[in-house]
Amino acid sequence: MRELLRGRSRTGASVRVIGRVAATGVVFGALVVAGLRAQALEPTIQITSPLGRTGLPGTIRIVARPEGPIASAALQVRFYVDRLFLASDTDGPPYDALWSDDNPFEKRELMVEAELPTGAVLRHTLVLNPLEVTEAVEVTSVPMDATVLDDKGRFVKDLVREHFLLLEDGEPQTLDQVSQNREPALFALLVDASQSMAIRSQAVRATAARLIDALGKEDQVVVAPFSRGITSVTGPTTDRATVLDAIGAIRHAGGTAILDALGEVATKLTESTRRRAVVLITDGYDEHSQSAFDETTERLRQSGVTLYVVGFGGVAGISLKGERLLRQLAEQTGGYAWFPRDERQLVVAYDSIASDVQHRYLLTYTPHNQRRDGSWRAIDVTVPGTEFRVRARKGYTAPMAPPVRASIEFTGVGGGQAPVALTRENLVVLEDGVAQKVDVFHEAVLPVTFMLALDASGSMKRSAAQAQEAAREFIAAMRPEDRIGMIMFATTSEYIHSPTERRDWSLAAIDKYVADGGTALYDALYDSLAQLANVPGRRAVVVVTDGRDENAPSTGPGSLRAWEDVLRKLQETEAVVYPVGIGGRVDREHLQQLADRSGGAAYFPDDAATLAVDYHKILDELRRRYVVGYESTNRVRDGRWRTVEVRPAEGGVTIRSRGGYFAPAQ
């Protein structure tokens, strides 16, 4: 299943030595491969944490470790972020500095410098690439870990695809892959840093070494201490000494908020493309969490992490109820919970986690159900015909389709059809009858792309001069940033020029205007809408006619296209239409229908003498329109029409809009 938020933390790094030549003539030359161990006689300093982004909250510990003959020397070490000085450390290795990664979606360069007694300076730089947001497209393949145990609790090896049966919501699925080869993983040690854990810090550190020793060389570890919230984060790192130092550096204070910390880690770790596991280490009951148990369970379900719990019981420790809840959380993810009563049992718990990590199958399958509906899909994995017990997560949450964003342009008119000033507070927006939360409201100020369709049929001869002059005034009154294209129609619809900011093309066409022939009104409307179909931004068709769709002798239709073709093109184009019908022979019903369906307005002057006035009304309305935007409560992408109603909170105002939009298709 593709992840909604995918963290790509390929890390670029460089190591070099600068400074003067020592008296012996040895030159501290450039070291070029990041992360490689320096040769024994060459001093280096390496940033060992963080090696990438996790998105976890709290302060980040930047850790640098000297190697070679200076491994235990007292040095002056300086830390920089994007070449700006952050802090210095002189109290011996490991050297560290605290940093707040306020925006993990921006690239950052970390640099550390160490000054040697010789005067030379060691330098190491490391680039943290930003987390990248990607949208889930479909439920492609679901990966999951599974542990198979026999009746004595021993791991069962060498099973193949044919041995497993996997059901999703009770329906058998076809396994694409079954493998025992473990891919590199990311482990988050979520360590309780409350005051009560202080007496166990050495035991936690000593036994944590057993866990990290069992991890692969490419496995990354994050140490995330928490009390009421996650504090200073170390990692991700592959350096085991850095992990143990981080645990030793924990300062214990305050109470415990287990559910809050679990929920936060589960949510943020989805930003990694690696297999993920969380090891929760705690000895307290949850006394400060704001999150509910069900909420945390859902976050763990959605994250795909495996949760292991190591909880210290006892008089001051986790209650029976707390143990039960933590067991449920772990089992939901395919993990396990241990509650050792002493340090010996704690060692057993860590050994069990290490063994479980090493001995797991990776199963992948492509679900038959490819719907992106955000539903919970229950998974049941068995090895039929055996007594083997399979431990795996109980299911997953299917991705939701990306949210559907809707934007509606409209105008409000009062008495006399005069535009009315509106605010977001006095509007209600309904989509298919469901109230929507408007997060965008502003005046529509973007440039408009016009198509001006002028009737040049024979009946326009007596009004030709007035029509020409009014059209010139209209073009002169447009804003410089607006664009205009032209169509003239008579017996046929003639395409004059495409939308442009050049006015001379339109004026030249108006000068050549000659009235003759029939009225191909529907073809002109269809062609005007087609010209705007792929034009971004605001779009408007202004059509001026004194007749109806008919041929020159008025014995039949004037267009090749039918009225239904025009309406279909109107719905596809999302342009607003302003018809101007001159005189008493115009097809008022159809022209008014165009205006109503597009959110425009129709004007019906008695003669061409007032054409200029109507043109100015159109321009004035387009400059006094509004836009509302919102994230639809309906995330289904079915390509269907959705009716949007913009209602004024007070009476006396009529809203004119297109009335809806087409949802995006899958």
Is there a single domain that holds both residue 217 and residue 350? yes
Is pLDDT above 90 for 328?
A: no
pLDDT given for residue 271 in this prediction: 60
Q: What is the mean pLDDT of residues 364-382?
A: 89
Structure confidence at residue 637 as a pLDDT band (50, 70, 90)? confident
Q: What is the mean pLDDT of residues 303-332?
A: 76
The mean-pLDDT minimum among 38-42, 122-126, 155-159, 579-583 falls in: 38-42
Q: What is the mean pLDDT of residues 53-73?
A: 86
Structure confidence at residue 139 as a pLDDT band (50, 70, 90)? low
pLDDT given for residue 393 in this prediction: 86
Q: What is the DSSP string of 44-69?
A: EEEEEE-SS-----S-EEEEEEEEGG
Cβ(488)–Cβ(494) below 8 Å: yes
- Single out the residue of 214, 209, 237 nearest to residue 224, CA to CA: 237
Instruction: Let me know if residue 137 belongs to a domain.
Output: no
Instruction: Let me know if residue 301 belongs to a domain.
Output: yes
What total of structural domains would you count in the chain?
Answer: 5
pLDDT given for residue 22 in this prediction: 31
Mean confidence (pLDDT) of the chain? 85
Is pLDDT above 50 for 300?
A: yes
Is there a single domain that holds both residue 459 and residue 476? yes
Tokens of 203: 């035991």
Tokens of 213: 């020793």
Looking at per-residue pLDDT, the higher value among 18 and 544 belongs to 544
Instruction: Let me know if residue 578 belongs to a domain.
Output: yes
The mean-pLDDT minimum among 166-180, 290-304, 462-476 falls in: 290-304
The mean-pLDDT minimum among 26-35, 337-346, 619-628 falls in: 26-35
pLDDT given for residue 628 in this prediction: 93
Instruction: Let me know if residue 199 belongs to a domain.
Output: yes
pLDDT given for residue 133 in this prediction: 54
pLDDT given for residue 506 in this prediction: 95
Is there a single domain that holds both residue 194 and residue 172? no
CA distance 474 to 487: 15
CA distance 649 to 560: 45
Cβ(364)–Cβ(177) below 8 Å: yes
* Count of CA atoms in the C-beta half-sphere (13 A) of 649: 7
H/E run at residue 472: helix 464-477
Is there a single domain that holds both residue 299 and residue 426? no
Is there a single domain that holds both residue 390 and residue 456? no
pLDDT given for residue 28 in this prediction: 29
Q: How does pLDDT run across 169-226, given as a tens digit for each residue?
A: 999 999 999 988 767 888 889 988 888 788 877 777 776 777 777 777 888 899 999 9
CA distance 313 to 319: 7
Q: How does pLDDT run across 592-632, given as a tens digit for each residue?
A: 999 999 999 999 999 999 999 999 999 999 988 999 999 99
The CATH code of the domain that includes 114 is: 2.60.40.10
Virtual torsion, Cα 266, 267, 269, 275, nearest 10 deg: 60
Virtual torsion, Cα 491, 497, 501, 505, nearest 10 deg: -80
Structure confidence at residue 153 as a pLDDT band (50, 70, 90)? confident
Is there a single domain that holds both residue 234 and residue 173? no
The residue out of 358, 384, 414 marking a domain boundary is 358
Q: What is the mean pLDDT of residues 131-150?
A: 72
Is there a single domain that holds both residue 232 and residue 354? yes
The CATH code of the domain that includes 303 is: 3.40.50.410
How many CB atoms are closer than 10 A to CB 64? 28
Q: Is the dihedral of CA 326, 331, 333, 339 positive or negative?
A: positive
Please state whether the peptide bond connecting residue 340 to the residue before it is cis, i.e. omega within 30 degrees of 0: no
Instruction: Let me know if residue 487 belongs to a domain.
Output: yes
Is there a single domain that holds both residue 331 and residue 432? no
Q: Across the strands, what pairs with 391?
A: 147
Structure confidence at residue 553 as a pLDDT band (50, 70, 90)? very high
Is there a single domain that holds both residue 378 and residue 295? no
Q: Which residues contact 239 (CB under 8 A, 6 or more apart)?
A: 46, 48, 49, 63, 65
Looking at per-residue pLDDT, the higher value among 360 and 85 belongs to 85
- pLDDT > 90 in the chain, percent: 46
Domain span at residue 9 reads: 5-132
Is there a single domain that holds both residue 425 and residue 388? no
Residue 91: Cβ-neighbour burial (10 angstroms; 0-12, 13-18, 19+): exposed
3-state secondary structure at position 460: helix
Looking at per-residue pLDDT, the higher value among 313 and 254 belongs to 254
Is there a single domain that holds both residue 437 and residue 388? no
Q: How does pLDDT run across 520-531, given as a tens digit for each residue?
A: 999 999 999 999
Is there a single domain that holds both residue 423 and residue 469? no
Q: What is the mean pLDDT of residues 581-591?
A: 94
